[in-house]
Amino acid sequence: MNQVQDDQFKTHQNVGRFRDWFADHLGVTPARKEELYIDISRSVTLRDAVYWLQILFAAGIATLGLILNSPAVIIGAMLISPLMGPILAGGLSLATGDLILGIRSLLSLALSCVVAVTFAVALVSLLPFKEMTNEIAARTQPNTIDFIVALFSGAIGSVAICKEVKGVVTSIPGVAIAVALMPPLCVVGYGIGIAFSVSGGEGMQIARGGGLLFLTNLVAITFTAMVVFLILHIDTEEVKEVARKRQKEDIESAFFRRALGRYALKEGAGKLDNLAVRFLMILIPILIILVPLGQSFNQLKTELANKQKENRLQQQITEVWQQNFSKLPSGEPRSYLDQVSLSEQGEHLTIFLQAFTSLPYTANEKAELTKLLATRFGRPRESISCQLVDVPTASGQDFLAKARTEKRIETPPTVAQLKTRFWDGVGNALASLRLPPGIQLAGYRILSSPSAAMQITIAYFGDHEIDNDGQAILTADVRARFSDPEVVVNFERIPSDFGPLLFSRNQADLPVARARLLDSIGQSLQQMANLHLQIITNAERGEKEKIAEERAQVIRDYLAQRWKVAPDRINIIQGANAERSVLLKLQTGEIPQ
């Protein structure tokens, strides 16, 4: 038994020598360890006004940078954010078993998060535009790679802070940018702001993604800070004794000691003396967070695999086209392939091709293309559908003139005709869209440009949000209807009933506080032509004659002047309630006569 204890003592001594050797080679002297312990302890004070100003300013700058989609502005917020202080204090408390420091760092960090998120929510609520930007979207789906980045960043950040400053400090700003603690918090605030003002489901999804990224960075930095501080042997008895003396002099530390009580403090300190317990305290959150991070990573791998598969298929399609359909029998160029897109549902593959050609392709040639592609892919012929759109080019003017003379093709449609056909096609494609029970299609908006994927926003009435599974099913359905797997589908729940708008007695002046409500209605009417507004107007007993009609007319005039809503899209109904109110209701279809 004595031999075992002797071996353990020698092992402990060897580990201690290695830790001291490592600290010496990094320039972390015993005096620097004491100084570092005290500096980190001071960083978690709740009485430093400059710290809280930095939190507010960093949150404001980060939120505006996210909304403006400006990486430079976001980097500025990263550089002034002081959140590394309490996080490193948490790592130091786990490394040394300092219960008081751990409680102070946890409280400081929690209050900092509340302040930053609340300020971000307030900013988002005040801003008139709330569009999702790339900088926001990039922080809503963290994965295991983000965790690894945070591990490396936390490790080098801890080492850089431990080293004695000599000359210009160049590593700390890089660490602040790499870890990015404040922007994810502001994404949480942005999501909550969106949940309150626009869409509850979408906003909370954004907030969850930002919160997961912040927690990922938090636990990773805390863990690596703990490991670095242990390796640098900051948990020596001499350093801890200096820290205990400092705590006795510090007002906040003394307060927590009194609040916890001697017995509770003694029991807690006893548990924290065990290094295995302290490692378990940080490893459990890491394992919990790795579950959703791993799921996101697997989803990313699947998406990348699908994209690589799609790229291979597109390359093969292009090769088949170049070998068999790009030239005339004489060897002269006939066409070039402009666009290739794929949509795969189950075992069936739909291919959409657009080619500019001087000689349109016949039905037999299109069938031959499908046959060749099936052979190239090693798939059954019936599992592939190929849709080819050939666009005549200017180089084929003689052919086009002859074709028009022989009435084989018609004169190309005008832009106005193409626009009409496009919207008719969109309407036909979405008219039979099957929505979940209790959900009614209100309308849709389309944003399209040559350089980006088409974006379709489906607006709907309903007493609840469409859940994630429902949105995924509808997105796949819309993409199949448009034969375009790149279509971006968004969902927006809009209220159908508004009001009541309360008026003063015998007055028809529009309440100023409700102008924002009418702006929301006007925007919906302007964006979706199939909507109309029903105004149910009431009057109190004893009010002057026709006051109800005047109130409805004021609302109609406001929508016509500000939002260009045609009067024939507004239906006014005399209500039966004896009160000074107007009820508003958005509806689809024609206005009843």
pLDDT in tens, 176-199: 555 568 899 999 999 998 888 777
Which of 177-181, 265-269, 328-332, 534-538 has the highest average model confidence (pLDDT)?
Answer: 534-538
Asked if the domains at 305-401 and 416-493 fall in one CATH topology, the answer is: no
Neighbours of 171 (CB within 10 A): 13
Beta bridge partners of 588: 531
pLDDT (tens digit per residue) in 314-337: 888 888 888 888 888 877 888 877
Handedness of CA 503, 508, 512, 516 (dihedral sign): positive
What CATH number belongs to 305-401?
A: 3.30.70.1350
Q: pLDDT by residue (tens digit) across 66-96? A: 888 888 888 888 888 888 888 888 888 888 8
CATH of region 416-493: 3.30.300
Q: Tell me the pLDDT tens digit for each residue of 390-404.
A: 777 654 444 444 444
The pLDDT-based confidence of 384 (bands split at 50, 70, 90) is confident
Q: Which of 2-6, 77-81, 477-481 has the lowest mean pLDDT?
A: 2-6
The tokens for 410 are: 């018609």
CATH number for 497-588: choose from 3.40.50.300, 3.40.50.460, 3.30.1330.60, 1.25.40.10: 3.30.1330.60
- Tell me the β-bridge partners of 352: 341, 387
Better-predicted residue by pLDDT, 17 or 90? 90
Q: Does domain 2-273 have CATH number 1.20.1080?
A: yes
Output the CA–CA distances (angstroms, integers) from residue 294 to 184, 205, 279, 464, in the order listed: 19, 18, 22, 30
Contacts of 380 (CB under 8 A, 6+ apart): 374
Give the 3-state secondary structure of residue 443. strand
Strand (E) positions, 369-479? 384-392, 439-449, 452-462
pLDDT reported for residue 18: 65
- pLDDT over 90 for what percent of the chain? 10
Say if residues 326 and 382 touch (Cβ distance below 8 Å). Answer: no
Give the contacts of 439 (CB within 8 A, at least 6 positions apart): 460, 461, 462, 466
Q: Where do the H-state alpha helices sit in 97-199?
A: 99-126, 134-137, 144-162, 171-179, 182-197
Q: Facing residues of 532 across strands?
A: 587
Tell me the average pLDDT across 139-164.
83
Q: How far apart are CA 217 and CA 262, in angstroms?
A: 34
Contact in structure between 426 and 392 (CB atoms under 8 Å): no
Return the percentage of the chain with pLDDT > 70, whole number. 81
Cα 583 to Cα 562: distance, rounded to the nearest angstrom: 20
Tell me the average pLDDT across 370-399.
75
Question: How confident is the model at residue 287, as a pLDDT?
Answer: 93
Q: Domain residue spans in the chain?
A: 2-273, 305-401, 416-493, 497-588
Q: How far apart are CA 119 and CA 105, in angstroms?
A: 21
Give the strand pairing for 384-392 and 581-588.
unpaired
Tell me how far apart the 2 most distant CA atoms of the chain are, in Å. 109
Q: 117, 248 in Cβ contact below 8 A?
A: no
